[in-house]
């Protein structure tokens, strides 16, 4: 390649970057409203939705999601028996980024600080998918202050192999600067819906789910960029965290679908159940990566079992 052609390609990339980053500045005005309230902390604000009364139940969403994943159904369902606190993880939904935290431990610390401001005491901590790693980090940091854990299709152990080309690209400079802002601004709604179908498969996406979750939040360039970095780096973090799991003594209930193609059942949930005496695994036949939508009563039952085990003499 000649220097002239190389310079031309670099100029094109720079122009695309400038254009897409300028478009991304519009993401500050979002169509999806705040459902809860902001908890001010040093370094930013955490958005939390609080519903119900009773023992504290903290909900931590998965990759590229937000608290609305839970307020679609599960939060209201559990608010009959618990005070439910659904957080937007730092940099997701309406929470500030706090510098762009990649470590589940750092994210857990921010959420613990926000929970303390809300007066949360010995909660059951529920984590879905990537949020399962943050829930485990919370438990590792404060084992005496967590009543129990409920994990839904959790990504909590290192897995064999590497992530696909998409995450390698999206976490790179080119992906962060050019590709993801283009996706954020140009992706058609049908492409988003198709991607969501894959996450829920083989179960259907509930009617109205994506509108409730918020296209503007889900496709925000800064959130896509942070999500790519977090997922790409997760394997190293859970590899460092997992040797500490056997020391945890709180009850752990795990729900995982046997049709989940996003987080491998055998690599994560089955391994935890085989390793930890205090972990009970419920496998849901024919359920994919979103058990709290496909089988919400089974998830509610797991939460209640966690509470019952935590409060048993």
Q: In this predicted model, what pLDDT tens digit does every residue of 206-265 receive, in sequence order?
A: 999 999 999 889 888 889 899 999 999 999 999 999 999 999 999 999 999 999 999 999
**Residue with tokens 């005491």, as numbered in its chain:** 121
Reported pTM = 0.88
Longest CA–CA span in the chain (Å) reads: 76
Q: Is residue 210 part of a domain?
A: no
Q: Is residue 182 part of a domain?
A: no
Q: Is residue 219 part of a domain?
A: no
If one counts the domains in the chain, the total is 1
Q: What is the pLDDT of residue 18?
A: 39
Q: What are the tens digits of pLDDT across the range 279-305?
A: 999 999 999 999 999 999 999 999 999
With a pLDDT cut of 70, the percent of the chain lying above it is: 84
Q: Is residue 62 part of a domain?
A: yes
Q: What is the pLDDT of residue 191?
A: 74
Q: Is residue 203 part of a domain?
A: no
Q: What is the pLDDT of residue 23?
A: 43
CATH number, domain containing residue 86: 3.40.50.1820
- Residues of the domain holding 87: 32-160+234-311
Q: Is residue 53 part of a domain?
A: yes
Q: Is residue 83 part of a domain?
A: yes
Q: Is residue 176 part of a domain?
A: no
Low-confidence ranges of the chain (pLDDT < 50): 1-29
């Amino acid at each position: 390649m000649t220097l002239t052609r190389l310079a031309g390609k670099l100029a094109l990339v720079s122009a695309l970057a400038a254009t897409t980053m300028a478009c991304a500045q519009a993401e500050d005005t979002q169509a999806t409203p705040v459902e809860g309230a902001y908890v001010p902390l040093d370094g930013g604000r955490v958005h939390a939705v609080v519903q119900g009364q009773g023992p504290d139940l903290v909900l931590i969403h998965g990759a590229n999601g937000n608290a609305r994943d839970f307020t679609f159904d599960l939060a209201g369902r559990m608010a009959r028996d618990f005070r439910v606190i659904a957080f937007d993880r730092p940099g997701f939904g309406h929470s500030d980024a706090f510098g762009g935290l990649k470590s589940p431990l750092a994210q857990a610390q921010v959420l613990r600080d926000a929970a303390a401001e809300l007066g949360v005491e010995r909660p059951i901590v529920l984590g879905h998918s990537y949020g399962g790693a943050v829930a485990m980090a919370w438990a590792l940091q404060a084992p005496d202050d967590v009543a129990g854990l409920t994990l839904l299709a959790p990504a909590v152990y290192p897995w064999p192999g590497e992530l696909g080309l998409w995450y390698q690209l999206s976490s790179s400079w080119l992906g962060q600067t050019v590709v993801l802002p283009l996706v954020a601004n140009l992706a058609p709604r049908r492409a988003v819906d198709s991607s969501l179908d894959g996450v829920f498969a083989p179960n259907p996406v509930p009617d109205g789910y994506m509108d409730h979750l918020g296209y503007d939040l889900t496709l925000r360039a800064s959130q896509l960029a942070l999500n790519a970095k977090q997922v790409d780096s997760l394997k190293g973090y859970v590899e460092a965290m997992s040797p500490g799991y056997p020391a945890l003594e709180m009850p752990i209930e795990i729900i995982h679908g046997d049709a989940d193609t996003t987080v491998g059942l055998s690599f994560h949930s089955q391994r935890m159940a085989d390793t930890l005496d205090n972990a009970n695994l419920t496998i849901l036949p024919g359920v994919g990566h979103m058990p709290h939508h496909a089988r919400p009563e089974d998830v509610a039952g797991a939460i209640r079992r966690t509470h019952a085990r935590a409060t048993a003499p």
